[in-house]
Structure 1
Amino acid sequence: MMTIPTRMHGIQLIGHGGPEMLHLNESIAVPTPKANEVLIQVAAAGVNNTDINTRIGWYSKQAVDSDNTGREASAEDASWSGNALGFPLIQGADVCGTIVAVGNNVDAQRIGERVLIEPCIREADGQQLDQPWYYGSECNGGFAQYTVVAARHAYAVNSALTDIELASFPCSYSTAENMLTRAKVVAQDRVLISGASGGVGSAAVQLAKARGAYVIAITSPSKSEQLLALGADEVVPRSGDLVEALSENSVDVVIDFVAGPQWPQFLQLLKPGGRYAVSGAIGGPLVELDVRTLYLKDLTLLGCTVLEAEVFQNLVQRIERGEIKPIVAQTFPLAEIEAAQTLFLKKQYVGKIVLTVAP
């Protein structure tokens, strides 16, 4: 049986702001699992938009700049759930690791399981949550050697993939799978995906194809071949006129991570009765909506954050069956998180950036 140390190293966010707010602490107390919790030794953790947005306070309704600068963010509503954050905070929602200890009411046979953490959690500190939390936002996450989570949110995964590859899945792929689930995507649907080269976008391409949909990916020309190799049936440049390229009333579903100035075109592209699902606004959170288009075309608009109950288990099963593949653009040691986030923000890669956590 392994000896669990009392202290660990990890990255702590000490306040809202730039990368200078991320501090490497070599002596953080290793958490102890409470009843219904498990202690996980973290092997790898992915980098996400949520990490950046939480750090800069972008979720605050006062932070509306399109360039994600978090203008005058209020500390009172700057978390994923719209509440204040507690500092110091260990971020990191994309976690792959091994269960090394369990609390009361958890079968000790789970020790040794390799697991992925469901990032949208409904239980913490032994309590059912009135409103779901995001792992590494409302509670400590995986940018450290050890982390705790309710046992129900630690999913055993049986796969030949590496820890780094598995850490690329939880947030991006569960977000994409949730959007496709909410939008009721089925075979033969024509699905348009914005931001298709990013972590969530590239996941959505694969997952939509797994459902039998016809996939149209929006990306920069330099990334077109990579998206086609992932399974996209068609690629359109993000800088062009989408309606001119695809024609009005040409798609059944829009899966959007960008919003921004092009947003009105998405509704023009949707067929009558079409479905629009969104889970990000990296192109700018404020858009122009012609309500006539919405009601005259009988469109359904879906905001997607909280995972449907079946989504994460379905995702794990797809991983185990080999229906989707990981796309790791680059890895960094945990201590180099600033360099990882700098590369992440440049958006010049396809897939995910993953941090490795030394034992």
Structure 2
Amino acid sequence: MQYNQLGNSDLQVSEICLGTMTYGRQNTIEEAYQQLDHAISQGVNFIDAAEMYPVPPSAETYGFTESYIGEWLKHQQREQLIIATKIAGPGRGFKWLRDGAKAIDRDNIKQAVDDSLKRLQTDYIDLYQIHWPDRYVPRFGQTVFDPSQLKETVPIVEQLEVFADVIKAGKIRYIGLSNETPWGVVQFSQAAKQFDLPKVVSIQNAYNLLNRVFDGALAEAVYYENVPLLAYSPLGFGYLTGKYLNGKPEKARVTLFENFGQRYLKPNVNKSVAAYVEIAQRHQLSPAQLAIAFVRSRWFVASTIIGATTLEQLKENIESINVVLDKEILAEIDAVHTQYPNPAP
């Protein structure tokens, strides 16, 4: 297992991060323990959660994921692990989330951090991320910026000032972004420099063979600001395993939860997936190994976040660290991308 420095922090994160958003909906606490134990035994030191997990989010399951991790974490050597979680932003309509108060402001940040610490049963969080921006931005499959949707927002400097206080209190160590834009990365970074406030050390966005939007303006922004990517959805909601090419498996996420993962229902997704599956088979790889190895190969990726609903899936995904894609395979991947560019942005 390789370990990479996260931005300008002193965090050395494993190249594979264990994603946990299924804990509490698709996975029981016993299954969560099995996954966590296996991941750590394979050298994973990085675990990612969020206050709103599991997903799809609901009032009944809110906070279950962090609570499951907390029950496990209290039996671990805490200092050897890097625990990341997130504060949910406004705009999703979750009235049950912190009594409906979701602005990234002082009261909400302090409450969300304290609640996560309690559920995680830890004194500090290594990486605390803004799950999506406080301001309006296109997100989760939306691709068009609409100025008419702009709304009142908490200034970025004010957000950073609160995080500075929480860091000073010892409750979090570093901050990161998620589902951010190039403009957001630069604004957070420049505000930190200008006002001597904590600098963001990472960005967690979707990145996979079906969605390489990050290759453009975001890659430029993170290069100059030293804000590496924590890539989520490397398997594109499981589509890149090829399991949806011939229908919907009975226990698959998209089958269980109606209207979930809409971005993967767009034209050319299945054609693109079939082409990538063919490349994997031609080179004696599983489609999942090809997809994860590709994400790991990108220069801007510090860690690839993998999740699974079964231990067998998790084992296969972690074993992808032994796969290195050569120039021939990467050229074949780029040829498919040229034919079907970003079918699920």
The verdict on a shared fold, with TM-score over 0.5 as the criterion, is no
- Kindly name which structure, 1 or 2, has the bigger radius of gyration based on alpha carbons: 1
Q: TM-score range by the shorter chain?
A: under 0.3
TM-score, normalised via structure 2 length: 0.27
Report which of the two has the higher share of strand.
Answer: 1
- Give the alignment's TM-score, normalised by structure 1: 0.26
